Chain A
Amino acid sequence: MLVTLASSPAELLGPLWPHQWSEFIVGVVLMLIIWIVVAKKVVPAFEKMYAERSDQIAGGIERAEKAQAEAEASKQEYQQLLAEARQEAAKIREDAKNEGARIKSDMREQAEADAARIVAQAHAQVEAERSQVVHQLRNEVGGMALTLSGRIVGESLDNDDRARRTVDRFLSELESQGSVHS
């Protein structure tokens, strides 16, 4: 039925049959040319640029990672230094404390020694003064006793050896008695 109505495919298909087949050929040829140009020239250029770009980005990330690692290392170093410094400060403090204690004990010892020395000196001085006083006293008492006994006896015993010896003996007895009493 259709065949009798349509004498040619153009009539049968209407606009679905190319008005001119040259259109088909032109379309294929142009698309082929576009395809070749784009595939041979454009795509490689773009892909090359993309590869470079991703390279650069990857490089940037790598650099950033490196910088981070460096920062981490220097931070650790810093912390180590800090810890060392703290340790050292503690040691110095400890030393200072010990030193202070030592100085204190040294000074105390010295002071004690000084005190002892002064006391001893004073003792010695006192002793010397006492013996001097005793000696003087003995002479004076001896003199007074001689004078007194001379007056009592009525003669001078000043230059007499016997009288001196008597006085000495008397004083010795007196001393020994005193020491027994005291």
Chain B
Amino acid sequence: MGWTSLIPMAGDEVGYHAPGVQSFHYTDPGWTFFAQGSWLNTWINKSTLQALIAAILVIVFWLVASRKLKIVPTKGQFFSEYVYDFVRNGIARDILGPDYRRYTGYLVGLFSFLLINNWFGETFIFMYPTFSNIGYAYALAIMTWVIYIGAGIARHGFGKFMKKSLLPPGVPPYLWILIIPLEFLSNFITRPITLALRLFANLFAGHLVVLVFVVGGWFLMTYPSQSAATEMNLGYNIAGVISIVFSFAILALELFIGALQAYIFTVLTAQYVHSSLADDH
């Protein structure tokens, strides 16, 4: 009996597969609409379907909500108004001031799309946050990037916007060589990357933690049925139950983090647009 038998999850090649990056890849869902191996079949995977469903949900929700708006709100309208106001007043108007109207559409859509996709990580059937695939996070970050740069150029013209973005007022000329690359890096490169990474990493890590507790907990709870080992171990089974129970707390935390990340992404988008529109740096 080697030392590895004390650690049920290590060196057990038969039963336990530790959750990892490969847990996020659903390239081949196992069922196919399209020919196996065709590009459509590899494209349409779980995350794509989730993104599609989320987009449909967002669009349907807002179209239904905006259909018969009453001055005195009904119960349903009260809810949709609450969400709309949360973004419109709490984010767009607070940060953008009088320019908020133009960007409210993007911010409302962005927030609701992010929120639904993030909460898919804790929803039955889905149980998988779409944005734990960094491709989607990059997509939204690039859109925000285009929007805030476009807003700046539309407001100030290309030359003035670049000067404003790259050269804060009051910098002495001998520091220009230092400041201009730094400002370029921070305003045009780091911003979208940090946006995407923050979103992705939070959801990726959160989902990974949930997987560890659930997969590991299940393995321990049913030990040794999934293992090469044969002897019973009550301690492992109890630890497995505790781990499964604890995973519910982690799921609740993930709900909160999902909402928080949707909020942060939206707030930062508004913030970047504001800094592009602002007259002084």
CB distance from A36 to the nearest CB of B (A): 8
Report chain A residues within 8 Å CB of B65: 42
CB distance from B131 to the nearest CB of A (A): 9
One of B21, B43, B110, B200 near A20 (C-beta < 8 A): B43
- Cα distance, A18 to B133, chains bound together (Å): 7
Report chain A residues within 8 Å CB of B71: 49, 52-53, 56
Q: Is A165 positioned at the interface, with any CB of B under 8 Å from its CB?
A: no
CB distance from A126 to the nearest CB of B (A): 106
Q: Is A162 positioned at the interface, with any CB of B under 8 Å from its CB?
A: no
A21 touching B135 in the complex, CB below 8 Å, given contacts A31-B109, A42-B65? yes
CB-nearest residue of chain B to A43: B105
- Cα distance, A53 to B58, chains bound together (Å): 25
Q: Which of B137-145, B173-181, B184-192, B221-229 contacts A (4 or more CB under 8 A)?
A: B137-145
CB distance from B60 to the nearest CB of A (A): 10
Report chain A residues within 8 Å CB of B67: 45
A27 touching B84 in the complex, CB below 8 Å, given contacts A19-B27, A37-B62, A43-B105? no
A37 touching B63 in the complex, CB below 8 Å, given contacts A19-B25, A19-B27, A56-B71? yes
| B135 with A38: CB separation less than 8 A | no
Q: Is B271 positioned at the interface, with any CB of A under 8 Å from its CB?
A: no
Instruction: Please count the residue pairs between chain A and chain B whose beta carbons lie under 8 angstroms apart in the complex.
Output: 132
Q: Which of A9-17, A77-85, A86-94, A110-118 contacts B (4 or more CB under 8 A)?
A: A9-17
Query: Using an 8 Å CB-CB cutoff, how does the interface string of B47-71 with A read, 1 for contact, 0 for none?
Result: 1100110110011001101110111
- Cα distance, A53 to B55, chains bound together (Å): 30
| B109 with A34: CB separation less than 8 A | yes
| B24 with A19: CB separation less than 8 A | yes
- Cα distance, A57 to B249, chains bound together (Å): 45
A38 touching B109 in the complex, CB below 8 Å, given contacts A24-B136, A46-B84? yes
Interface residues of B (CB under 8 A from A): 21, 24-25, 27, 42-43, 45, 47-48, 51-52, 54-55, 58-59, 62-63, 65-67, 69-71, 81, 84, 88, 101, 104-106, 108-110, 112-113, 133-140, 142-143, 197, 200, 204
- 19 more contacts with CB within 8 A, not counting A26-B136, A31-B140, are A15-B134, A15-B200, A16-B134, A16-B197, A20-B42, A22-B48, A23-B51, A24-B136, A27-B51, A27-B138, A31-B113, A34-B55, A34-B113, A38-B59, A41-B63, A42-B63, A45-B67, A52-B71, A53-B71
Interface residues of A (CB under 8 A from B): 14-28, 30-35, 37-43, 45-49, 52-53, 56
